[in-house]
Structure 1
Amino acid sequence: MSDRELTVDGFRIEPLSPQTWDAFADLAERHNGVWGGCWCTYFHLYPDPTEERRALGHREFKRQLVEAGRAHAALVFDGDVAVAWAQYGTVDELQNIHHRKEGEQGVPRRPDFRITCLFVDRHYRRKGMASVAVRGALALISAAGGGLVESYPHDLPPGKKTSASFLYNATRTMYEQLGFTYQRPKGKGNCVMTTQVPADELAPS
């Protein structure tokens, strides 16, 4: 990856790592651990290491995944404070998607990466930060070699709006604006979308 600073719309993007853990943890803790205390661990839980996770707690379980290089995300910084993230990873790293069997049945090509979860600080919502986070993730995926990227946004009926706090992976409309292509429905209210990311294209459009 290039040593030059990665920015999207003026916001600094950094990968989740042991060096950025404290900033990630601060954002999660400002929101009670996110999604009911999940700490963005749900998609890692296949097969579910229940006993280990319960013994450690979600925060420590996530921290250990980060230390081991098994959890990836693009962190969006406003100054020194993380204000959003987009979780991404390989299929093997993020196996626990909703409707997994249905979603993988008859798929012609296994994706190289998944974007599974977004989170934006409550004071930065409705300002395009989810898009910034996804574009940051795509840039980091590009730096990691690129490939076919799959995501699972909410497919809202025309005219319907919902609270940003319930949109764990933004909307089909946002992903279409980022160049993703609709593939198929997924469960009730979500869909599968993909984009092909070239390698080493660090500067987001």
Structure 2
Amino acid sequence: MHSEVSADAQPTALRIVPAQQAPFADVEAVFGTRGDPATCWCQWYKIPGSDWREEPAELAARLEQQIATAEHGGPGLVAYDGETPVGWCAVEPRPALPRLQRRRIVAKGSDEPDFDDGSVWAVTCFVVPRAHRKRGVGGALAEAAVAYARAQGARVLEAYGVDPTARAKVPAADLFPGTVSMFERAGFTEVARPTPSRAVMQVRFD
């Protein structure tokens, strides 16, 4: 795979690289020490609910290990503005996300029922620190996720977009899966709407 994907964002161009090419300290800088990202570390879809008792430091160690040992792509991308890490996008083969198949939006909306199929990838989470929001970071990461999944041999890339227009008010914390409009701009097509405010989006490479 090409080592980076550049995307224009305001006010500067972003450099986006696979997490394997970023120091883990930069990933930690994006996740921060407060809020949902710092207590989840993109492990929610990977750990059985009965085992969801680990401390944030242990979850962070899990993510660091997953980045270091990923053999078939994933588990994410890191965006930079110059040398400053400004965003994260979780994207990887769907079999790495065992709890995902039990989510109603996926169970009712995905037309890819085989969760052992490593050619189906998923975008599940975006993390952009408050100071770097409203600058196109999430959209650039979504576009880069498409390029990354394609380069890694994915057949399908799924996302589970939030449609803020379908709800009276959507807290910023609820937008971590990405928005429908953002995925549409990145080339995704809506294939199902399991709930009024959540859509299954796909890019097919086959």
Output the amino acid matched with 2:146: L
Query: Aligned pair 1:6/2:15, yes or no?
Result: no
Q: Offset of 1:153 from its aligned partner?
A: 0.9
- Root mean square deviation, CA, Å: 3.0
TM-score (norm 2): 0.79
Identity %: 22
Taking the aligned partners of 2:205 and 2:107, their CA distance within structure 1 comes to 21
Structure 1 match to 2:116: none
Alignment of 1:52-201 (within 5 A): 53=54, 57-69=58-70, 71-97=74-100, 99-100=102-103, 103-104=106-107, 107-110=110-113, 112-157=120-165, 160=168, 162-187=170-195, 189-197=197-205
Taking the aligned partners of 1:195 and 1:129, their CA distance within structure 2 comes to 20
Taking the aligned partners of 2:121 and 2:183, their CA distance within structure 1 comes to 15
Q: Offset of 1:171 from its aligned partner?
A: 1.4
In structure 2, list runs of 5 or more residues that go unmatched.
Answer: 114-118
The answer to whether the Cα contact below 8 Å between 1:126 and 1:164 also exists between their aligned partners in 2 is no
Give secondary structure in 2 for the equivalent of 1:95. coil
| CA separation of 1:108 and 1:6: change in aligned 2, threshold 3 A | closer
Taking the aligned partners of 1:187 and 1:164, their CA distance within structure 2 comes to 19
Taking the aligned partners of 2:185 and 2:52, their CA distance within structure 1 comes to 41
Structure 2 match to 1:201: none
Higher helix share: 2
Give secondary structure in 2 for the equivalent of 1:63. helix
The answer to whether the Cα contact below 8 Å between 2:161 and 2:198 also exists between their aligned partners in 1 is yes
Taking the aligned partners of 2:56 and 2:36, their CA distance within structure 1 comes to 19
The answer to whether the Cα contact below 8 Å between 1:72 and 1:89 also exists between their aligned partners in 2 is yes
TM-score (norm 1): 0.79
Structure 2 match to 1:203: none
Alignment of 1:20-31 (within 5 A): 20-29=23-32, 31=33
The answer to whether the Cα contact below 8 Å between 1:33 and 1:39 also exists between their aligned partners in 2 is no
